[in-house]
Amino acid sequence: MELFLRFYLLFGTLHVVNPNGGMGYMAKQKTKFVCQECGYESAKWMGKCPGCQSWNTMVEEINILEKQKNRSYVTSSGTRQKPQPITAVQGEKEPRVSTTMAELDRVLGGGIVPGSLVLVGGDPGIGKSTLLLQLSAKLANVNERVLYISGEESVKQTKLRADRLELASDQLYVLAETDIALIEGAIDEVQPSLVIIDSIQTVYQDEITSAPGSVAQVRECTAAFMRVAKTKGVAIFIVGHVTKQGSIAGPKLLEHMVDSVLYFEGERHHSYRILRAVKNRFGSTNEMGIFEMKQLGLEEVKNPSEIFLEERSQGAAGSVVVASMEGTRPVLVELQALISPMGFGNPRRMATGLDHNRVSLLMAVLEKRAGMLLQNQDAYLKVAGGVKLDEPAIDLAIALSIASSFRDQPTEPMDVAIGEVGLTGEIRRVSRIDQRVNEAAKLGFKRVIIPEKNKGGWTAPAGIEVIGVQTLEQAIEVVLGR
């Protein structure tokens, strides 16, 4: 018998005689090595993954392949599905369920879509479980049945966290389970409109031999939850752990399988949290929600511009305020620059919240077009408040903050700079200039420097002066003088 099994494992598919006649096929069992970071598969073990260049992430898994015959177009409900012209498909507007949290609704694109699968990622301790437990309680309070499944905490521990946050509702059901078969049974029994899975790395299927949290387990469990969401019309939120590189643990395929991917960002030792959508099939991926962690959980921040500017220093060189668009919301943030002579070797270029290449490009433009000798200067730039900015409209504010620090000359505290800077030193137009200027006027700013091409077609609010500039040198003259 042992010799027979060795022969089978070595030579692949084993043909057996079908009792009804003909030849049949037994399962073909193979061993493969899968990277636990990116999902790269290999027939042999390697110390370094060729896909993501990570060391010691290849884990052995067993792959079972079965030969399937007579495959047809069959949906998960068992009905036969045929191709049809797109013009014959009846289009329906997706209904949405409000979370009663305006910031979360904004990021989701207007609310929760029934039958959607949403992945929430973030660093440990950032507040993912707190946010989802609050979401569950708020929906339960408006008579929406919610099932909260925790694979990391017991039911009593979840109850303690709910008591600390002062959350309670008869429509909120809790369960501590990691077997996906039992979880699907609980969903059928409770019939909820929302299911929370905390977290996907703890859920497992018995048919898969690898440990919970492996690539195979995460992938298959996510696919199972996707089938449940689509067939039963229940919205499912799953929590995904984040690796030290900042990406969701498991293969990148996981992000392609879900409908939306939300990242919860922020410093663990600071009270403010930022929720971003990096993928959303039902809305924009540029939206941002801001929360503040307090004793009773996360609270929405109605006006984030005030928070980002509340600790701004007055009369400090290298500080410039910019109006950036985060989705459909204008946000005013402070850009800080520190330019100092280099001590030795090559000059350093460091940026927090900004693209390092963008900073180097703008410093080259300042040196060439504005006559500033920056090649022997160290440059350190930061976006105050922990926000990450990547749109072209922040170019002018970056350049002005560098120029202000280089000259050691403070800017006017009531100025706001908006504009894209070209390689020839021109200031190019940006989008939604009226919303940006209106936000600056609401917070009491007196003057805004914008591209000359953006001055027409809209009316500036009262109490704020709008100055149009065409070149970077002209903008420096307006803000800092000659």
Q: What residues form the annotated binding site for ATP?
A: 122-129
Contacts of 330 (CB under 8 A, 6+ apart): 305, 323, 324, 432, 435, 436, 438, 439
SS3 398: helix
Q: What sign for the dihedral angle of Cα 364, 368, 374, 375?
A: positive
Distance between CA atoms of 78 and 16, rounded to whole angstroms? 30
Give the annotated binding-site residues. 122-129
Q: Quick count: other Cβ atoms within 10 Å of Cβ 90?
A: 4
SS3 306: helix
Query: Exposed, middle or buried: residue 77 (CB in 10 Å: 0-12, 13-18, 19+)?
Result: exposed
List C-alpha distances in Å: 142 to 8, 137, 146, 299, 364: 59, 9, 11, 19, 57
Q: Quick count: other Cβ atoms within 10 Å of Cβ 28?
A: 15
Evaluate whether 358 touches 399 at the Cβ level (below 8 Å).
Answer: no
Beta strands 447-451; 415-417: pairing state: parallel
